[in-house]
Structure 1
Amino acid sequence: MKLFSCPSCDQVVFFENVVCERCNHALGYEPASNAMLALEPTGTAFTSVGRGGDGRQWRYCTNYDHGVCNWVVPGDGAEPFCVACRHNLVVPNLADAANVALWQKMEIAKRRLFYTLLQLNLPLVTRAEDAEGLGFEFLSNDPTSGQHVMTGHDDGLIVIALAEADDAEREKRRTAMGEPYRTLLGHFRHEIGHWYWDRLVRDGGHLDACRAVFGDDTLDYNAALQAHYANGPRPGWQGEYVSTYAGAHPWEDFAETWAHYFHITDTLDTGRAWGFVVNPRVDREDVLTAMINFNVFAPTTTIANISDAWLALAAALNALNRSMGAADPYPFVLSETVLRKLGFIHDLVHGRVN
């Protein structure tokens, strides 16, 4: 995630900001230019002002009214929702203030997902445009009917249980399921990996190439999941998979690896924006030394560039967290097999799979 600045006064601002604390201009994120705009109200719309301001008219996404989105759309356009929110199909019951607070967390994570999708120029299609287009439903358990919402994906429809936005509940589930890492953003990145398997692998003509890396996806999916939950992780899974769940089925291996590719690239993008250099004094062989001075989203960037920088940055992040008494932000070890799988994802998103 890049660092932004207010076009009016050059104050550093962040991705979720809606107002500049220095000059008090309204702020809105414009995805096509990947820029934060300084806005002044003009009637029912806003005018972009300051550095780079061209006087164009903008409106906030309709979900700005609920305090969950700060993205803007062209003032003369007919679309009321931004490129991220137009994929929402079901949102929580807004009559309940607690639901709104949880939805805010959902949308923060979802917009960070879309930031990366847009930087990688990945295709985005709504359910209105295609029967298997991308759509999100944010659902709550229904105690009257006994319905228990499960996070998952089905032909482009991604359901995220609203309870996952409750930090205490998510930690409870993480512990119960023996997961080292469980976040809202991680859910979004994993589930959308399934959708892009459909778009880029199945529909993109890359089934054979993907099966050569991740295995035979024609294996019975439900039976594979039942075996995973009944028998536990595969013996020696660390050498082949990025997580225990990745070993359940090739589809889950792909989605888990896809999610980790997004974890890695977005964090490296943040490291570059902040000018991170990792150069431990005791690292005589430069194993944990890296200067993150490359555009991680550029097609010319290699998976070796990415993995070398990530090894150093992840080690530093984990060490810093331990100094604060916090859990490792990246409690994973990337084997050579997993790095090869990450390389496949890297080539896939850049259109280089043969």
Structure 2
Amino acid sequence: MRIFECDHCGQTIYFDNSVCVACGHRLGFAPEDTAMYALEDEKDGIWHKADDPSRRFRLCANAGLDVCNWLVDPESDEEFCLCCRHNNLIPDTTTDQGLNRFRRIVGAERHLFYSLLRWGIETPTRKADPETGLVFDFLEDTVDASGNVTPAMTGHDNGKISLRVAEADDVTREIVRDQMNEPYRTLLGHFRHEVGHYVWDRLVRDGGRLEAFRTIFGDERQDYQEALERHYKNGPPPGWQDSFVSAYAATHPWEDFAESFAHALHIVDTLETAMAFGLLVSDANLHALGDPYRCSSGQQLADAWVPLTLAMNAIHRSMGQRDFYPFVLAPAMIAKLDFVFTLLSGARDKAAA
């Protein structure tokens, strides 16, 4: 994530800011420009850029809950921003717990959509595409009459992504991470992984890339349910670390792609952040890399990424924390990242044409 500055006073501002601490202007993120703007209030819910009254906006309807800082075209019939309009089922925002959970979920969701915008990934809503449009259901756990809790499931089904609301709570998510013996589990990681399945449908299955996909990831026509049952019964195959970025990636080619896609977004977004802060790490020539969103080489990104993760892991250990990046990019992963970046670069170039 890059660093922004207030276009009115020049103060450094960040992606989640809604007010400039220096000049006091309301801030909003304009997705069509991937830019943050200082705003002034007109009337009837219309705002304009502080230094350009011709650029007019409305705030996302979720701004009223202090959940979202994105902007909407004032001529649009949408009340929600490009990100929030994909949400179908949401937590109960009339309670403090529900509102806090929703705020954390949407914060991660907006971070995801920043990357999708930068890559030019098309994300039609269910209103625009009733069959396969992208939609999110944030699901609550169910409790029966005896007080037994059935956790909601996180997953993807033909453009519909479900996310367990309880995982917006750090304690719950950490318990699940430990029970699943996972080195990493975050809301943003869930979003990136599940959207990886959506991207597979759009850019691989529907994009004529199945044969190229199978050459690298394997044949996705193998029974998915059997693969899941085998994974949860027996665990990953011996030596999985040589070919997969995570144990779960070894379950099935679909999961391998979704994990590879998530890590591609992890890498690019974090490298952009490191470059924005001017971080210098030996052997990681970040500035020679240029804009990581313009790079399509898995090897070039890995060459910058690995030294950075080694340094960040050492810093985390110095603070008594778990590794910042508890994964290993084995050589076999580079080909998978190359495949993902080729897909993403094609989407970006198509969107720019």
TM-score normalised by length of structure 1? 0.94
Counterpart of 1:79 in structure 2 is: 78
- 1:202 pairs with one of 192, 205, 210: 205
> Aligned equivalents of 1:292 and 1:133: distance in 2?
37
Note the alpha carbon deviations across 1:80-103, whole angstroms, 9 max, x for none. Answer: 111111111111112222011011
Note the alpha carbon deviations across 1:265-310, whole angstroms, 9 max, x for none. Answer: 000111111112212xxxxxxxx34233510111x55323211100
CA contact (8 A) 1:318 1:328 kept: yes
Counterpart of 1:189 in structure 2 is: 192
Between 1:156-165 and 1:75-84, the stretch displaced more is 75-84
> Aligned equivalents of 2:337 and 2:75: distance in 1?
41
> Aligned equivalents of 2:140 and 2:230: distance in 1?
28
1:258-273 alignment runs, 5 A limit = 258-273=261-276
Counterpart of 1:296 in structure 2 is: 292
Matched residue type, 2:31: P
- Indicate the SS of the match to 2:261: helix
Counterpart of 1:276 in structure 2 is: 279
Structure 2: where are the runs of 5+ without partners? 348-353
What percent identity do the matched residue pairs reach? Answer: 45
Counterpart of 1:330 in structure 2 is: 325
CA contact (8 A) 2:101 2:165 kept: yes
- Indicate the SS of the match to 2:121: coil
Structure 1: where are the runs of 5+ without partners? 280-287
Instruction: Return the offset for 1:75.
Output: 2.0
> Aligned equivalents of 2:53 and 2:114: distance in 1?
23
Counterpart of 2:104 in structure 1 is: 105
> Aligned equivalents of 2:311 and 2:197: distance in 1?
31
CA contact (8 A) 2:132 2:159 kept: yes
> Aligned equivalents of 2:301 and 2:35: distance in 1?
24
> Aligned equivalents of 2:296 and 2:169: distance in 1?
37
Distance 1:59 1:314, change over 3 A: same
CA contact (8 A) 1:91 1:138 kept: yes
CA contact (8 A) 1:276 1:292 kept: no
Note the alpha carbon deviations across 1:127-166, whole angstroms, 9 max, x for none. Answer: 1111111000111112147653110001110000001100
> Aligned equivalents of 1:81 and 1:325: distance in 2?
41
1:52-201 alignment runs, 5 A limit = 53-130=52-129, 131-144=131-144, 147-201=150-204
Matched, 1:13 2:13: yes
> Aligned equivalents of 1:128 and 1:350: distance in 2?
27
CA contact (8 A) 2:245 2:333 kept: yes
CA contact (8 A) 1:152 1:158 kept: yes
Note the alpha carbon deviations across 1:198-238, whole angstroms, 9 max, x for none. Answer: 00010001111101110010000001000000001210000
Counterpart of 2:216 in structure 1 is: 213
The two structures, once aligned, show a CA RMSD in angstroms of 1.3
> Number of paired residues?
341
CA contact (8 A) 2:296 2:345 kept: no
- Indicate the SS of the match to 1:217: coil
CA contact (8 A) 1:268 1:292 kept: no
Instruction: Return the offset for 1:123.
Output: 1.3
CA contact (8 A) 1:6 1:12 kept: yes
Counterpart of 1:285 in structure 2 is: none
TM-score normalised by length of structure 2? 0.94
